[in-house]
Structures are given as C-alpha cells and as structure tokens.
Amino acid sequence: MAQRPAELATETLSTTLGGQGDVADFVALLKPRVMSLVVFSAVVGLVAAPGSIHPWLGFVAILCIALGAGASGALNMWYDADIDALMKRTATRPVPRGAVSPQEALGFGLTLAIASVLMLGLFVNVLAATLLAFTIFFYVVIYTMWLKRWTPQNIVIGGAAGAFPPMVAWAAASNSIDLGSIALFLLIFFWTPPHFWALALFREGDYEKAGVPMLPNVAGRAETKKQILLYSIALLPVAALPLLTGTAGTLYAAAGSILTLNFIRLAWMVFRTPNREDEDRASKKLFGYSIIWLFAMLLLVLIEHVLALPLWTAVF
Amino acid sequence: MQVPQPFSPDDLARRRRRSIVMAVVLVVLMVLFFITTLVRLGGNVAERAL
C-alpha cells in the first residue's frame, strides 16, 4: 500500500535527523570503563618507554589512544547490536535499546577512528598511528566481525587488541617497538583469557542464548576451568618479562610475585570447586581479582618509573 | 496536508544537549590543535629563514 504523504514525510525526517540519543548514550558507546583501563595501560607504556616526549604531546598521544579505544567500542556496539540485545549484560546498551540508531553508531565510530589515527600520525608519529589503526582494525574486524562468533578461542586471539595500547603509547614516546613494550603487551595478552573465561563461567547462559561460542558453552565448564588455571600459571613467567627486559625492578618483582601467586590460588579454587553455586562464586571472585591484578601490576611499573627506582638489567 | 511533528519536546531537548556538547568539543579541538602546533614548531618559527 502506498504511504500517505504525512507518513512519508515523518519517515524521511526521522531518517534524515537520526535517532534521539542523549549525550550519555554516546558516551556509553565509547565503553568508558574499558577506555579507563586502556588509558591507564597507555600511560604506563608512555612513562616506561625509553627517551622522552614533550608532556603536551604525551597528553595528545593518550587522548588519541583513548579516542581510538572509544571508536572501537562504538563500532563493536554497532556490529554486535543483534547479539547484545539477547544478553542481560548488554541488552541495555544504546543501540539495542533503540536510543542510538545503528547508522549513528557506525558514523560516530568511524569518525572517531579516522580522527584519532590522523591526529596521532600528524601530531606525534606515524609508527604510533599505524599501530593504533591496526589495533582498531584488529578489535573491530578480526575480533568482533570474525573471531567472536566463530571460535571459542575468540578472546585468546582477540585479546591482542586490548594488549596493544601500551605498545602504541611506547611507540608514541620512543618511535620504536622494543622488547619492553612487547613484554607489557604479553602481560595483558595472557591476562585476557582467564579474565574473560571467569566472566563466561558465571555468564554462560547469556553467551549461549546469543550463540557466541565462549569456551564454557563449547568445550564445557571443566575444560574452561582447566584452561583458566593453565593461563594463570603461564602468567608467572610472562609477568617476569618486564624484569628481564629491564622495564621493571625489585618492587615489581616482589609485589608482582605475591599478586600473581594469589591469582593462581584463586584460579586453583575455581578449578577444584565441584558444585555450580560455589563455582560461580569462585569465578566471580577471580574475575574481580583479575581486574585488580592487572591494575596493580601496571601501577607497580608506573611507580618504579615515576620514582626513578632502579630497574633490573635487561637480559634480552 | 498536516505538517508532521516527529519530535517531542524531550527529543528536542536531547538534540540541543548534543549540539552544545558538539560545539564544546569543536572549541576544545581548536585549542588542542593550536597548542599542539605551537609545541611542535617550538622555536623554529622565530628561527626560520626570511
């Protein structure tokens, strides 16, 4: 049936003028909590890098990295709106809620992505901008569009996207990719699987409903708990890499060892818990602790550099 | 033909808030670009060959 002129005009107006999201909805598209961890890890990369950068340019570099992270979040929410609507944790995000149209989220994300990469390239250096562009590409295309709905190893490989920010900041400060920045990358990269699988254990139903192949609903809870424990044990040698590359010192070694051993202890508690209820409680505890662990490990590196404490001599 | 009214007063208030934030962001970007240009050029402006 042909549309009446008034209906057609209303539809055209809505299409032309976009959705009715508030400022807070657009802020939510940037995933502010993820962004805060990205900014913090980037600050650590910037401070730990050899050489010096003008404080203002350092600030601009962190701002660009934050904008790039926000862009990734917005593009992720644009693409994942269909599955976000099915999961309790994500159903109230701006796109599935209808506050922001998918086209707006796409436009917002692309604008921020292009602007952040261009600004970083023009104001700081091309290497950092290239790494930032690759990070956004990796998170949006490799993780969100490809791995997330295809393989239970999604967050293992996709975790690289979250591990790049200190490397981008390091490149911004030193115009180089060193073993020290790779050590910080690996610290976050190996932290990601136990962190997200702990979440997936107590949110298993959500992921299953949305058809996202997370490890618990593909390989089973027992296998997931084993993998969590193995990755947590692997954190011990990985956490030593900043020491061996001369990026961290004795304070990091001492406090970091205790923090990591406690990480393994909590992963062991999850592994050996037999019943579902205790398992959920243990995995929630591990999930919460994993956030504190990463923050504390990076903070230790930051403190050592800010206070100019002696660092270990690089082995590599 | 009756003119369609697709937006409620609430919708218009939200749009206004978005517009104000966008204006503020543009001004902040202008200041950011200006200061960054000064920092990057440093003393080279004064020392350039005339």
Same domain, A187 and A123: no
Flag whether pLDDT at B6 surpasses 80. Answer: no
Given CB atoms, is B35 within the 8 Å cutoff of chain A? yes
Please indicate, yes or no, if residue A4 is contained in any of the structural domains.
Answer: no
How far is residue A136's CA from residue A141's CA, in Å, rounded to a whole number?
8
**What pTM was estimated for this model as a whole?**
0.91
Instruction: Report chain B residues whose CB lies below 8 A from the CB of A6.
Output: 1-2, 4
> What's A44's domain CATH number?
1.10.357.140
DSSP letters, A153-176, are THHHHHHHHHHSHHHHHHHHHHSS
Flag whether pLDDT at A20 surpasses 90. Answer: no
Please indicate, yes or no, if residue A185 is contained in any of the structural domains.
Answer: yes
- B4: enclosing H helix or E strand: none
Stretch A160-187: mean pLDDT? 97
Flag whether pLDDT at A316 surpasses 90. Answer: no
Same domain, A220 and A308: yes
- A294: enclosing H helix or E strand: helix A276-306
DSSP letters, A6-44, are HHHHHHHHHHHH-----HHHHHHHT-HHHHHHHHHHHHH
Stretch B1-17: mean pLDDT? 81
Please indicate, yes or no, if residue A147 is contained in any of the structural domains.
Answer: yes
How far is residue B33's CA from residue A121's CA, in Å, rounded to a whole number?
13
Q: How far is A22 from chain B (nearest CA, A)?
A: 5
Same domain, A102 and A167: yes
Boundary (domain end) residue, out of A133, A148, A177: A177
Same domain, A216 and A150: no
pLDDT at A65: 98
- Please state the separation of Cα A59 from the chain's center in Å: 20
Given CB atoms, is A56 within the 8 Å cutoff of chain B? yes
Q: Which residue of B has its CA nearest to A63?
A: B32
Structural domain for B31, as ranges: 11-37
Look-up of token digits 């293992």: A156
Structural domain for A264, as ranges: 179-316
Which of A5, A14, A63 lies nearest to residue B1, judging by beta carbons?
A5
Stretch A168-176: mean pLDDT? 98
Please indicate, yes or no, if residue A18 is contained in any of the structural domains.
Answer: no
| CB-count exposure of residue B23 (10 Å: 0-12, 13-18, 19+) | exposed
Please indicate, yes or no, if residue A6 is contained in any of the structural domains.
Answer: no
Percent above pLDDT 90 for chain A: 86
pLDDT at A276: 85
Same domain, A165 and A185: no
Stretch A96-110: mean pLDDT? 95
Please indicate, yes or no, if residue B2 is contained in any of the structural domains.
Answer: no
How far is residue A80's CA from residue A290's CA, in Å, rounded to a whole number?
25
Its ipTM equals 0.84
- Please state the separation of Cα A108 from the chain's center in Å: 19
Q: Which residue of A has its CA nearest to B12?
A: A20
Same domain, A91 and A145: yes
Stretch A103-107: mean pLDDT? 96
Structure tokens at A60: 């601009």
Same domain, A230 and A172: no
Q: Give how many domains chain B has, as a whole number.
A: 1
Flag whether pLDDT at A307 surpasses 70. Answer: yes
Boundary (domain end) residue, out of A161, A177, A193: A177
Please indicate, yes or no, if residue A293 is contained in any of the structural domains.
Answer: yes
Look-up of token digits 């976000």: A84
Given CB atoms, is A26 within the 8 Å cutoff of chain B? yes
Boundary (domain end) residue, out of A151, A177, A203: A177
Same domain, A33 and A172: yes
Three-state DSSP at A249 gives strand
Q: Give how many domains chain A has, as a whole number.
A: 2
Instruction: Report chain A residues whose CB lies below 8 A from the CB of B39.
Output: 54, 56-57
Stretch A161-178: mean pLDDT? 97
Same domain, A159 and A185: no
Which of A23, A56, A123 lies nearest to residue B21, judging by beta carbons?
A23
Average pLDDT, chain A: 93
Same domain, A172 and A28: yes
- Of residues B50 and A157, more confidence is placed in A157
Same domain, A103 and A241: no
Same domain, A166 and A98: yes
Please indicate, yes or no, if residue B42 is contained in any of the structural domains.
Answer: no
Please indicate, yes or no, if residue B18 is contained in any of the structural domains.
Answer: yes
